Structure 1
Amino acid sequence: MNQKQLYQPFELYVSDMECWNERPLVYHFFEIVQILEGSGVRTTNSNDFSYKKGSIFLFTPLDCRGFDIRTTTRFCSIRFSEVFLGQFKHAQDRERISRWLRQLEHIFSHHNRFQEVLIKRPGDCHLISSLINNMVEEYTHKQPYHEENLQHLVTLILNIIARNVSDSTAITATESEPLINRILLHIAQHISAPEKLRVGFLAAHFNLSANYVSEYFRKFTGESLRNYITNYKIRLIQQRLTFSGFTISQIADELGFADESHLSRQFKKYHGMSPFEYRKHTKTGLNCKIFK
């Protein structure tokens, strides 16, 4: 799968597309996309959702995303990394933003796999559009304090999106939700608690036969339960190593590994390098582009 990096903490542009010539890409950053004109289908993690003028999407790091253009599409793309939001001057703000982004990951990982992100609250679409227009002005003219203003505008937009998504999550994470959706949401919410991800626990929690859990999971996801959980954790480790200042030990504690060496063995098995080497490699790439 092709991948795309963001080589600066923040990027904003307005562009036109007549067709999407690239295959779906894995992007290593957050992205807010507002459709200004046109229609088509967006692809996120192998799921397709129609879009039209006014549609707003949020993609999280490591989502695989693409577009199938039906009519010429004009869009505004706002791309940023945790580094950008981590540039708040006060440590308390940085810690709050980091914790808040981790919560958003859980919410949007569910929606980007199965559901469209819908802005349902009256007036919120208009408010987001207004904030995006303000961001374009700040980014274009780069007046004093424009970076601080952009940070606050991004967090305002994410807050508005999050309250709409969390409302629908509270509704759809019920017995009416497809069982596989509820299992995947459970995994995202309890990724740091290995005891709640075991077959026996899942069988009891979702009223399935222990012998059927793995078969059911593979049937609907195309991969084994164990591989899915491992790959999900590896993705989160990649994000922490690239965009946070957490130590390897802190990441291991957060994601439920026995210790730092356990995390390192698992990570090296999948990437062929240690977490320290991976962090050094990615940070070097970012710094060369940002600060040269």
Structure 2
Amino acid sequence: MAKQNLYKPFEIEFKQQERFPPSVKSNNFFELIYIVDGTGVQYVNKNKFNYRKGNLFLLTPHDQYSFDILTATRFFFLRFTKFYLETKKGKDKEAVQQVAYIIKNASHRPGCILKNKADKPFIASLIENILQEQTNQQIYFGKITEQIVDTIITVVARNIALKLPKNVKESTGEPVLEILHYIQENIFEPKMLKAENLSKHLGISLSYLGRYFKKQTGETLQDYILNYKVRMIEIRLLNSDMRINEIAHELNFTDESHLNRIFKKLKGMNPSEYRKKNALPGNTFIA
């Protein structure tokens, strides 16, 4: 499958479609897709999500996705590279880099990215302002558009940060965010998640790594990895038709019973019960 590339720092596009191109897309850049109007189903990797007006999706590099449009949909696309924020200059460069690291920690999070209720009308207003600037094209419209784009990305980062470990704040140091990114990138590779490999990759001594991570996040490394896997199980239970033994194999549990035991300990019910209780109407999945 051919990758789509981006040759500008960022790119915006408004498009109304009654049918989404049938091919599965995959990018070498980040892409925010906002639903201005319309309904349908978003497919990303092995998950699906019923979309509607006001949903905002973040697709990370190499995600494979498509849309099944049920009613004519107006899309807003914002595409940007991982270097867009990292290369910005100015006195707020350190804060900007923090946002970039948080954005890169968005791996494996399908569905609407807006978790903070107050941000939903805020995002709608920002996107409407971009549309006005692009339509009117008055003096400085390009600079104003760029500033609005930066604000949208920062709001997205805030919503991602809501799902990070409880002690991780905007001011949290770069090394711990790099650890989180490394774990998420290698979650399917148990050998890569061993403390020895983490220590070597990050240039942090093995004896200091565990203490540092616990101090910065409020969780041990092993607890974070396990909790992250459970969040991934939840996503697959609610947004895919994967069987539980397939999920166990994908996430490197010993077997289905091992996954069931861990999931019930942390969530208070087994995966089949969780899927039945929480699945969206119209989603019928096999346990």
TM range (shorter): 0.5 to 0.7
Alignment check: 8 A CA contact 1:110 1:185 kept: no
Alignment check: 8 A CA contact 1:39 1:53 kept: yes
The equivalent of 1:197 in structure 2 is 193
CA deviation map 1:197-223 (0-9, x unaligned) = 239999x93699xxxxxx99881259x
Residue 111 of structure 1 aligns to a residue whose secondary structure is coil
Structure 1: distance between partners of 2:84 and 2:42: 26
The equivalent of 2:272 in structure 1 is none
CA deviation map 1:240-286 (0-9, x unaligned) = xxxxxxxxxxxxxxxxxxxxxxxxxxxxxxxxxxxxxxxxxxxxxxx
> Aligned pair in 2 of structure 1 residues 220, 148: CA closer, same or farther (>3 Å)?
same
Structure 1: distance between partners of 2:64 and 2:251: 15
> Aligned pair in 2 of structure 1 residues 168, 35: CA closer, same or farther (>3 Å)?
same
The equivalent of 2:45 in structure 1 is 45
Give the residue type in structure 2 aligned to 1:121. Answer: N
Structure 2 residue 119 is matched with structure 1 residue 124? yes
Structure 2: distance between partners of 1:57 and 1:150: 20
Structure 1: distance between partners of 2:99 and 2:114: 19
Residue 110 of structure 1 aligns to a residue whose secondary structure is coil
How far residue 94 of structure 1 moved from its aligned partner, in angstroms, is 4.5
5+ residue gaps in structure 1?
Answer: 172-183, 209-214, 223-292
The equivalent of 1:287 in structure 2 is none
CA deviation map 1:153-181 (0-9, x unaligned) = 1222222222223224448xxxxxxxxxx
> Aligned pair in 2 of structure 1 residues 185, 86: CA closer, same or farther (>3 Å)?
closer
How far residue 110 of structure 1 moved from its aligned partner, in angstroms, is 3.2
Structure 1: distance between partners of 2:197 and 2:246: 15
Alignment check: 8 A CA contact 2:99 2:154 kept: no
How far residue 109 of structure 1 moved from its aligned partner, in angstroms, is 0.3
> Aligned pair in 2 of structure 1 residues 170, 147: CA closer, same or farther (>3 Å)?
same
How far residue 52 of structure 1 moved from its aligned partner, in angstroms, is 0.8
Alignment check: 8 A CA contact 2:102 2:161 kept: no
Alignment check: 8 A CA contact 1:33 1:77 kept: yes
Structure 2: distance between partners of 1:118 and 1:89: 27
Structure 2 residue 107 is matched with structure 1 residue 141? no
The equivalent of 1:100 in structure 2 is 99
Alignment check: 8 A CA contact 2:9 2:84 kept: yes
How far residue 32 of structure 1 moved from its aligned partner, in angstroms, is 1.7
The equivalent of 2:249 in structure 1 is 219
> Aligned pair in 2 of structure 1 residues 197, 127: CA closer, same or farther (>3 Å)?
same
* TM-score normalised according to structure 2 size: 0.56
Structure 1: distance between partners of 2:153 and 2:32: 9
Give the residue type in structure 1 aligned to 2:39. Answer: S
Residue 69 of structure 1 aligns to a residue whose secondary structure is strand
The equivalent of 1:255 in structure 2 is none
The equivalent of 1:4 in structure 2 is 4
Structure 1: distance between partners of 2:83 and 2:146: 11
Give the residue type in structure 2 aligned to 1:205. Answer: Q
CA deviation map 1:15-42 (0-9, x unaligned) = 1122222321111222221112211111
How far residue 78 of structure 1 moved from its aligned partner, in angstroms, is 1.6
How many residues were matched structurally? 196
The equivalent of 1:231 in structure 2 is none
Structure 2: distance between partners of 1:143 and 1:88: 24
Structure 2 residue 32 is matched with structure 1 residue 25? no
The equivalent of 1:60 in structure 2 is 60
Structure 1: distance between partners of 2:130 and 2:87: 17
Give the residue type in structure 2 aligned to 1:151. Answer: E
Give the residue type in structure 2 aligned to 1:219. Answer: H
How far residue 14 of structure 1 moved from its aligned partner, in angstroms, is 1.4
Alignment check: 8 A CA contact 1:139 1:146 kept: yes
5+ residue gaps in structure 2?
Answer: 167-179, 199-220, 227-244, 253-287
Higher share in helix: 1
Residue 108 of structure 2 aligns to a residue whose secondary structure is helix
Alignment check: 8 A CA contact 2:58 2:113 kept: no
Alignment check: 8 A CA contact 1:82 1:98 kept: no
The equivalent of 2:265 in structure 1 is none
> Aligned pair in 2 of structure 1 residues 131, 141: CA closer, same or farther (>3 Å)?
same
Output the aligned Cα RMSD: 3.8
The equivalent of 2:211 in structure 1 is none
Residue 156 of structure 2 aligns to a residue whose secondary structure is helix
Seq. identity, %: 32
